[in-house]
Amino acid sequence: MAHYSFLHLTAAALGLGPRSGPVFGGAVPRRRYDVAIIGGGGHGLATAHYLAREHGVSDIVVIEKGWLGGGNTGRNTTIVRADYLLPGNLEFFGHALSMWPDLSRDLNFNVMFSPRGYLDLAHSDAQLDLFIRRANMLSLKGIQARIVDPQTLRDLEPALDIGPKPPVPVLGGLVQAGAGTARHDAVAWGYARSAHRQGVDIVQNCEVTGLKLEHEHIVGVETSRGMIETDTVVVSVAGHSSRLAAMAGIDLPIETYAVQAFVSEPLKPVLNRVTNMNIGLAYVSQTDKGEIVMGGSLEPLASYAQRGSVVRIGETASRLVHLLPFLSRVRLMRAWGGIADVTADGSAIVGPTPVGGLYLNAGWGYSGFKATPAAGWCLAHTVATGEVHPLIRPLGLERFTTGALLDEGGAGPYTWLH
């Protein structure tokens, strides 16, 4: 993804009219706003969109350190799924998945959602048992999921070389037909354009340097372009959540790790759906352009670096080659990295904080992109009404003191992290 800002995206470039200047992202921050949202990625922009459209709150500024969508929104592998097990995550991600099919119509912007399906492979009796329980829980909540045997897997994905014997036994899998992929940067563009049209100021290249508090309540945001007065702040900055929270004196139960992905040269269509391999974690999908997108587990050391290692590429590729032998002859074109907040229980933190007027959207790990519409929807409701949306009540920061943890270790990278 090219490193240029929305200031370079003209109306003509998006087919919106004559070449009259920037479409959005070029606002000069005012002295005061009702709401300041820190972070111009998908979650922050979605929150602004739903605050303005659903709740009539449009005196909002979105503050982005770099360019819109240049953080984790533009550095993920575009996967959308809802195969979670635990109550709390189950309902939230089910709602998120239900929002994706209508998102392009909702925003009047093509986010290229492709419900091609998601396939999770089970390599042991224990994993297959877990997937059966997960599919049962999903079905009870009305979320599509089914268990299939190895022969059905071969029919669904003919390119897979699977069987019951080592080195990579496959005993079955979980299939979610309504899951798939979406164009990550288009999601940011769609939410940004909609928020802009509803009067939201979007400020790029503006770094937050501090949060101003009085009597344990937020009163302003200090930035590289001056002080912004406000009594409501939403922090939605993905891998930098701990840094921003520390500015308000909050110590988050989060560690930050780099996550790497890489992509091959374009090929003819060969993969029908997103496929996840659970031995060491490796996942793969094919873009509309034909590129094979691959990713794996977190880098082993905590870091804020937006890059990974050659070692991780080798480990991930070697796993995938066992299941997809044709990949051994495919050339890689590029690699990139994002930074993921990982909480102590592997689930996100969304909602109010002990500081009055300060709201947090953090700790998504591998799950941030797929959560985008629901996270924005629920947080907008919470900010506008003062009542925590029911879907995010289980994701509150207070669970780390009450003990009501959501240990979703089997649905992401966390099993292989520690």
Assess whether 202 and 334 both reside in one domain.
no
Q: How many domains does the chain have?
A: 2
Assess whether 238 and 127 both reside in one domain.
no
| Mean predicted confidence (pLDDT) in 132-142 | 96
Residue 196 forms part of a structural domain:
yes
For 396, the 3-state DSSP assignment is coil
pLDDT, greater one: 332 or 13: 332
Assess whether 336 and 262 both reside in one domain.
yes
Phi/psi at 119 (nearest 5 deg)?
Answer: -125, 125
Assess whether 172 and 260 both reside in one domain.
yes
pLDDT at 16: 45
Residue 354 forms part of a structural domain:
yes
pLDDT above 50 for 10:
no
Assess whether 267 and 336 both reside in one domain.
yes
| Mean predicted confidence (pLDDT) in 204-210 | 97
Residue 94 forms part of a structural domain:
no
Give the structural domain span for 159: 115-179+255-343
Q: How far apart are CA 44 and CA 191, in angstroms?
A: 9
Residue 31 forms part of a structural domain:
yes
Assess whether 188 and 232 both reside in one domain.
yes
Q: How far apart are CA 185 and CA 176, in angstroms?
A: 24
Q: How confident is the model at residue 23 (pLDDT cuts 50, 70, 90)?
A: low
Q: How confident is the model at residue 166 (pLDDT cuts 50, 70, 90)?
A: low
Q: How confident is the model at residue 4 (pLDDT cuts 50, 70, 90)?
A: very low
- For 91-133, the pLDDT digits (tens) are 999 999 999 999 999 999 999 999 999 999 999 999 999 999 9
- Among 324, 343, 362, the domain-final residue is 343
Q: Which range among 10-24, 197-211, 236-250 shows the weakest confidence by mean pLDDT? A: 10-24
Buried (b) or exposed (e) across 246-272, using 16+ Cβ within 10 A? Answer: ebbebebbbbbbbbbbbbbeeeeeebe
- Among 307, 322, 343, the domain-final residue is 343
- Among 286, 315, 343, the domain-final residue is 343
Cβ-count burial of 215 within 10 angstroms (0-12 exposed, 13-18 middle, 19+ buried)?
Answer: exposed
Assess whether 154 and 263 both reside in one domain.
yes
pLDDT at 18: 41
Assess whether 70 and 159 both reside in one domain.
no
pTM for the structure as a whole: 0.92
